[in-house]
Every structure is written in C-alpha cells, then in structure tokens.
Chains A and B, each alone.
Chain A
Amino acid sequence: MKTIRSISLLIFVTLQLLCVSVIPIRADQDISSTFEEANIAYSGGDYSTAITQFEDITKEAGYSGSVLFNLGNSYARDGQVGKAVVNYQRALLITPSDSDILGNLQLVKKESGLFLKERSRFEKIVHSLTFNQWTILVLISLVVLAAINIIPLLHPISKKSSLISGGVCCILVCLFTIGSYASYQRFNPSIVISPETRLLISPFKTAGSIGTIQEGRQVYPLKTHKAYTYVIDETDRKGWIATDSIEAVCNPEEKN
C-alpha cells in the first residue's frame, strides 16, 4: 500500500514538472508560429492581419525590439503614421542602436512631413544619446570614480595623478547626470496617433482650438482631466488634446 502511494506521488510530481516545463515551450512555439504568420501576412500586403498578430504577440509575450519594429512597419504600410512612430520609438528603447529601426523611423517621419525644428546646441548634445545611454554613462563614470578612489589604497600612485583623474571623473559624473536629467525631461513622450488632431484651449469637445497637430508628432503630457490631456508639443505649444488621440511610448499599458 505504501509503495503504491509513493509511486502515485512520484508520477504526480513528474507530471507536474513536465507540465511546468512544457507550457513555456508550447507558448514559445505559439509565439514563433504567430510571428511567422504575421510576417507572411505582411509580405502578402495584408497589413491589418499582420498588425493584429504582432499586437497579439506583444500582449502575450511582452515587448521585443524585432516584433515592435515589424509592427511599426505594418502600421506604416497601413497608413497609420502615428502608430508606426510609437512602435519604432518603443523598439528603439529596447534596441537603441538598431540601424533598421532608426532608418525606418527617419523615413516615415520624412515622408510624412514630420520635420524637426532646428535644435539648439545644448539640445543637439542632449539628443545625441538616448536617456538610457546617458544613464549608462553615469554608471560607468561612477564605477571608474570608485576604482580611482580604491586603487591608491592598494597600490600607491602619485597624489597629483590621483587628484586629476578623480577630478575629471567627478566632472564627468556631473555632466552625465545633467545629460541624463535633460534627456529624462523628454524621455517618455506620447505620440499623436489620430489624424486631424486639434490642440484645444479647454478640456471639452467644443472648446476653441489653438491649432492642429500632425499625426506622428511628439507631445509631452502635463496633466489630465477626464478624457483630455494637457500637453506641450515640440514647438512649446500647450493645449488640451483628447487622451485617446495620443499614445505613450514608454509603459504603454499606463495611458497618460
């Protein structure tokens, strides 16, 4: 009797372990097949199907640079410039140095007339790196600073070289922190995803319009009121915009 119980328990535990190990593999297989189907739909010109499938993958498995890139391409081909820009920018947050993503984002912006205004020298420097790259630089400079402080305790070095290297490193930490802060101000923009969107003076439908804002343009939410969000755009215009007309690049599940 005792032996039968032990064997049953062993079989139960083994099955449980198998289930636990098989389910992710099964899920991975599903995702891979959906991804392939979406790619086929894209290649066949069925962009709406491709969009649905890429979106499904994102909902199920999370965010991947390649899936977001393909989703951006599908939206661009489908004529949804705003959505395309959102997904390219999300993809860039995951794989910032991907030349395909950078190239396609620039092409979509250029072809849609989303020309950038001339930036100041400071803005050029800040935008030369992404926010994450700035924060990486801060970390590297902090590590180097720690090394510069620790090494003299282990191996004597000249006081002058220790002071100079420490000072330079401190300056770099400060500069990179400033760069990170400046970049953070524009880290999580929202993208206008609806065509013919208007900036309104007040948060209701019949309010006066400040002006129109192109689909695909970046705005930065400041506050919300019911179904409207108060935003500032790239040209420092401020106004209310329907919340469902914009989509945040970062943490898309938390709409602004």
Chain B
Amino acid sequence: MQLRLQLIFTLLFVTTLLCAGSAWGEVTVEARLSNASFPVDRMSQLSITVNGASRNTDIDLPQIDKISFHSRGQSSQINLSNGAFSSSLTHQYLVQAEEPGDYIIPTITVSVSGKDYLTKPINFTVIAAKQATSTNDEQSAQGLDEVAFLRVTQTNKHYPGEIVPITIKAYFNQKYRFDDFSLPTMQGKGVVSPQLQGDPLQNKESINNNVYHVLTWDTTLSGVKVGKQSVKFTMDAAILIPQQRVRQSPFGNSIFDNFLGGYQRKPISLASEETVFTVLPLPTENTPASFTGAIGTFDFKVTASPLRLTVGEPITLTMTISGNGNFDRVEAPAFPDITDWKTYTPTSEFLPEDSDDLASKLFEQAIVVKNSSIREIPSLSFSYFDPEQRAYVTKTSEPIAITLHNIQTAAVPVQLRPTAVEAQATPTTESNDIFEGLAPIHLETGDFQSVIEPLYKKSWYLFACTLAIILSLTAIFLKNRKLKKSRHPEIDLKRNQKQQLKNDMMKLAQIVDTGDCHDFLKQSRRTIQTQLGFLWTLEPAAISYADLSNRLPTNSPLLEIFTRAEAAAYGAVLVSDEQMQTYMTAMSTELENLI
C-alpha cells in the first residue's frame, strides 16, 4: 500500500516538473500603465508582467527626467489549465510625475535567467491638478476613482429652512494606504449644513471588482435662499506611497520592504459631483399668525403644574414640540395677551432624537394668575409648514383647568405691580418699576476688601485650622503616652534604672580618673546595691554578699567586685588603675545584662 502511494506521488512530481519545464519554456514580458493620462497630484500604476517565469527576474527601470517609480511589490501566479501549466510574475510600480507634460516610458529590460527581454514603450500624459478637478476630466476622474472618491445622495425640491437628510460617502481603495482624513466640507451658496459630528460609519463595498473602505456621514442640508443652488462636498486625505528604494531588501519580499522602507505622504483632494439643491419659496397665502418658520412634521403638547394653587403663585407651563424638522426655527408658542395673567420669558431646551427618531423642543414658561375668577389656562397654538402636504398646519392645545384656593383674599385681582398701567404689561416687556419693592440703598460704604475670596483661602483661617488639628493630634499623642505609662509602669522603672546606672558609671569613671581606689570600691558597692535593689525590689542598703551569692551565678564578676568592696570598707585594700578599669567595664556589662 505504501509502495503504491509512493509511486503515485513520484509520478505526479515528475509530471509537474515536466509541465513546469514546458511552462517556463516560453518567456514573454509586457508593461502596462493603468492610466494614459493622470493629474500631477495623483499617480498611475505600472505593471510589468513576465509570463513563463515565476522567479529569477531582474528589471532595469529606465531613468526618466521628472518621473519617479515607487515599487509596490510583486505577485506571482501559476495556472493549471487542461493539463498545461502557465506561470507569470508581475511587478507593480506607482508612477509619479513632478510636473505636467507628455512623457514616454522607454523599453524596459527584463532579465530572466540571464536572458534579456524588452517591453514596448508607453506614452502617457500628466495634466495639471486644478485642471483635473475643475474640468472633471473623465479620464482623470477614472484614474482617481480607482484610488478614492466622494459621493453624496441627490436632493430634490425643498423649502427654505427645511431639513433635508443626506448621506456623504467617501470611498478609499483597499489596495492603497491612506492617512490624514479631513471631514467633508460643503461648498455652495444659499444652502447650509451643520458641522459633522462624531466618527463616521465604516464598512466595505465592492465596486468594479475593487474593494473600497467606505466612510459614511449622515447629515442634513437646509436651503436659506430661494432658487437653484449648486452644492458639492470636498474632502482632503493623504495617500501613503512607499519610498523608492535603490534595491529591494535582501529578503526579496515586499512585506519586508514595507517594514524596512518608509512612506511618502502625498495629499489628495476628493470632490463630489455638483448637485442642484432647489429651494422653493414658501406659500404666502394663509400664513398663520403663529408661524415662525418651522418646517417639517410636528406634534404639540402642553402641560401645567401645579393645577391647584392660590392667586399669585407661579404655574410652570411646559410646551413640548416633537417631530422632525428645523427645530432652530421652532419658537415658544405665544401666550395669549390676557391681562389676567402675568407671564415670564420662556426657557427652551432641545432634546435630540430619541429611539423613535423624533427630536423635541421643550419650552418652560412661568405664568402667574392675577385674577381669582380664572378657571383655566387658555389654549396655545403652534404653526408649521408641512413640506409633504405643501400646506401650513396649526396645532392648538386644549385649555387646562386650574383650581384656585384662598378665594377670600384673592377676590379682587392681585396687584402684583403698583399701578394699573404697569399691570397691563407683562414682565417681558414692562419697565423696571416692577422693582418698586426693593429695599433702599445703603448710605454707608462699609469696609472694603480687595478681593472676594472664600474663607478657606484666607491665611488666618488656614492657620487656625492647622493649629487646631496640630493641638488635637498633640493632645491625643500625650494622652496615649500617659495611658501607656499607667498601664506599663515597668517601662518607666527600667528607664529610670538605666539612667541611674548611666549616672553611677559616670561617677565611677570620674573616680577612676582620680585614681582613688577606696572611693572606687565604695561607689562600686553602692552601684551594685542600687541596681540589684531595683531588680530584686529590695532595699539597696540591705543587700549583702549573701544575697548576691544566692542569686547570681558563681562566676559573676559582681561577686568579686562586691567582695573587694566589702573588704575595703573594713580595711585597706589596694586596687590598681588597670584593675579599676577592668572592674568598671565588667560591672557595666554585667549590670546592663541583668537589666
């Protein structure tokens, strides 16, 4: 079984070699330029295809004045068709011109396995950049379309201020690398478009066998001038061109070339085709009085709170206008000019589109009822122009019933302002005599201060706070220390003992300096008695040699010193200076160890 398989593989290998040999037998070369004409700010693609070879090719590119070639790598292809093999190797280059003109790419020499082959010369034209964009030359446009282009949805006839949604799409060929994208900007008069916000949607689309990376912005257009308005969008970007290298990387691979070589950033400008945005005039007949320029489809609701109140108490009137349209022209519906009400300037708030794709504008207006006979808030009207119906629409709210308390005190209209003349005007238009009730001005200047600053920035405040905190912490520390002392008296005792020993040893050192052995032994005896008295809680004077011999180890130097000291108390005992020094050191060490 294994032998059979080996035989089949061997046959296949031999057949492949034979076929491949035949495929590589006939070598032809071909050079092709993607665009015979292209603008100076763009490039064309030069493909040199070597048929019948898949490796060992060497291309000698010609030197052309003001023309440069940028290698884009190579690709090889092997086909098996009806038992016949064919292979090809294609080298890709981007051709870039420094200035417009007619150029010729002369014959290119391609060496395949040591044998030279020649391509045919190619004529091409490079045109000016502005010419390409302004004349919208078809050929150059085709050249650009292969790389990148901009498309905008078409518009129809609309009314001034009408919000017209449009979609802007920027296409970038995936074969190329791009950078430095600007936002599309509108060019045209009589039409406005809001500034694009946020990141665009990104997806991929295939057009004419080219895959494009597509950036999509949804925005709106709005006509401000009646007539036919030309609109187009432009956008800037940069194409990244691999820098031309003297020779390819030693790896012979375009991937390594990408890593090892740098990129040249070449700016490109995309422009959409011009579209005509027709702005129709609004009908002048039957224009409602409450129309303020709103165009679209809207809904209108009015609520009020509180509905049970006393005369003079403010009511918040909330007017909500929701729908789709030009909300910047939507204004607060005017409250009817009734003297029984005092009205204030409304505030507005725009709420962007919700889940139902409906935006809304909220108006809040404070109103005050002045007359106790009032039983309802009057109806309010809002008008807009519906572009679909091509007619004005007026929506009117229902009156809202209110209940007023405190009828006795509010039986007569409340005089919120001093005079009847003033009472007829609402505060939105009235004079400033409404402030008649202001407290009178002060007649003394009072104290001045150079700046109005918070208390915490004043130095005295910071000092006082810091002092209070430090005092607190110090007091807490002292309190804890006191507590610790009361709980552990032995700590103090030990400290005192150590201090006593230190003092005694100092005295001994002084005696050693004088060389008085009698005093030395006397002081030694006292020191031993004092320290051991502390330790054994005995009266120091009562400690005798017997106590020491009972409690200390037999080899303790204290025993010897104490014996000599007791002997000196009853008779003459001589101790040399060196011995005094030795005794003092031994006593110090021994007593410190005992403590």
Show the binding face of A for B, using Cβ within 8 Å.
Answer: 31-32, 35, 39, 42-43, 57, 61-67, 69-70, 73, 76-79, 90, 93-95, 99-100, 103-104, 107-108, 111-113, 115, 131-132, 135-136, 138-139, 142-143, 145-146, 149-150, 152-153, 180, 184, 187-188, 202, 206-214, 235, 237, 249-253
Bound-state Cα–Cα, A77 to B468, Å: 47
Pair A73/B452 contact, Cβ less than 8 Å? no
Pair B465/A237 contact, Cβ less than 8 Å? no
Would you list 5 pairs from A and B whose C-beta atoms are within 8 A, ordered by A residue? A69-B441, A94-B449, A139-B468, A211-B348, A213-B347
- What residue of chain B has the Cβ atom nearest to residue A90's Cβ? B452
What residues of chain B lie closer than 8 Å to A237, measured between beta carbons?
349
Residue B461, interface by CB 8 Å: yes
Q: Which of these, B350, B427, B439, contacts A210 with CB under 8 Å?
A: B350
Q: Which of these, B446, B461, B471, contacts A65 with CB under 8 Å?
A: B446
Residue B454, interface by CB 8 Å: yes
Show the binding face of B for A, using Cβ within 8 Å.
Answer: 192, 194-195, 197, 314, 316, 328, 344-350, 361-362, 366, 427, 431-432, 434-435, 437-439, 441-456, 461, 464-465, 467-469, 471-472, 475-476, 478-479, 482
Pair A251/B453 contact, Cβ less than 8 Å? yes
- What residue of chain B has the Cβ atom nearest to residue A117's Cβ? B316
Bound-state Cα–Cα, A57 to B479, Å: 54
Pair B328/A69 contact, Cβ less than 8 Å? no
Pair A62/B443 contact, Cβ less than 8 Å? no
Pair A146/B445 contact, Cβ less than 8 Å? no
Bound-state Cα–Cα, A112 to B448, Å: 30
Pair A146/B475 contact, Cβ less than 8 Å? yes
What residues of chain B lie closer than 8 Å to A61, measured between beta carbons?
445, 448
- What residue of chain B has the Cβ atom nearest to residue A102's Cβ? B439
What residues of chain B lie closer than 8 Å to A145, measured between beta carbons?
468, 472
Pair B435/A77 contact, Cβ less than 8 Å? yes
Pair A64/B447 contact, Cβ less than 8 Å? yes
A143 smallest CB distance to B (angstroms): 5
Bound-state Cα–Cα, A249 to B453, Å: 10
Pair A252/B347 contact, Cβ less than 8 Å? no
Known: A67-B446, A135-B456, A210-B350. 13 other contacts (CB 8 A): A35-B445, A63-B449, A70-B442, A73-B439, A115-B314, A138-B465, A150-B471, A150-B475, A153-B479, A207-B195, A208-B194, A214-B345, A237-B349
What residues of chain B lie closer than 8 Å to A57, measured between beta carbons?
445
Pair A78/B432 contact, Cβ less than 8 Å? yes
Residue among B195, B432, B434 having the largest count of chain A Cβ atoms under 10 Å: B432
Pair B441/A70 contact, Cβ less than 8 Å? yes
Residue among B345, B346, B454 having the largest count of chain A Cβ atoms under 10 Å: B454
Bound-state Cα–Cα, A173 to B362, Å: 43
Pair B454/A132 contact, Cβ less than 8 Å? yes
Residue among B362, B450, B455, B482 having the largest count of chain A Cβ atoms under 10 Å: B455
Pair B468/A146 contact, Cβ less than 8 Å? yes
Bound-state Cα–Cα, A132 to B451, Å: 15
Q: Which of these, A39, A111, A132, contacts B427 with CB under 8 Å?
A: A111
A190 smallest CB distance to B (angstroms): 14
- What residue of chain B has the Cβ atom nearest to residue A154's Cβ? B475
Bound-state Cα–Cα, A5 to B468, Å: 55
B472 smallest CB distance to A (angstroms): 4
- What residue of chain A has the Cβ atom nearest to residue B477's Cβ? A149
What residues of chain A lie closer than 8 Å to B450, measured between beta carbons?
62-63
What residues of chain B lie closer than 8 Å to A149, measured between beta carbons?
471-472, 475-476, 479
Pair A139/B461 contact, Cβ less than 8 Å? yes
B26 smallest CB distance to A (angstroms): 66
B418 smallest CB distance to A (angstroms): 12
A40 smallest CB distance to B (angstroms): 10
- What residue of chain A has the Cβ atom nearest to residue B342's Cβ? A113
What residues of chain A lie closer than 8 Å to B347, measured between beta carbons?
211-214
- What residue of chain B has the Cβ atom nearest to residue A38's Cβ? B441
Pair B445/A143 contact, Cβ less than 8 Å? no
What residues of chain B lie closer than 8 Å to A146, measured between beta carbons?
467-469, 471-472, 475
- What residue of chain B has the Cβ atom nearest to residue A77's Cβ? B432
Bound-state Cα–Cα, A100 to B446, Å: 14
Pair B453/A39 contact, Cβ less than 8 Å? no
Bound-state Cα–Cα, A63 to B314, Å: 35
B419 smallest CB distance to A (angstroms): 15
Bound-state Cα–Cα, A33 to B386, Å: 65
- What residue of chain B has the Cβ atom nearest to residue A144's Cβ? B468
Bound-state Cα–Cα, A187 to B476, Å: 34
9 nearest A-B pairs in the assembled complex, by CB-CB distance: A113-B344, A149-B475, A66-B442, A211-B349, A142-B468, A100-B439, A62-B448, A146-B471, A66-B446
What residues of chain B lie closer than 8 Å to A63, measured between beta carbons?
448-452
A45 smallest CB distance to B (angstroms): 10
B324 smallest CB distance to A (angstroms): 15
What residues of chain B lie closer than 8 Å to A131, measured between beta carbons?
454-455
Bound-state Cα–Cα, A26 to B471, Å: 46
Given A139-B464, A187-B454, A208-B328, A111 and B446 contact (CB-CB distance below 8 Å): no
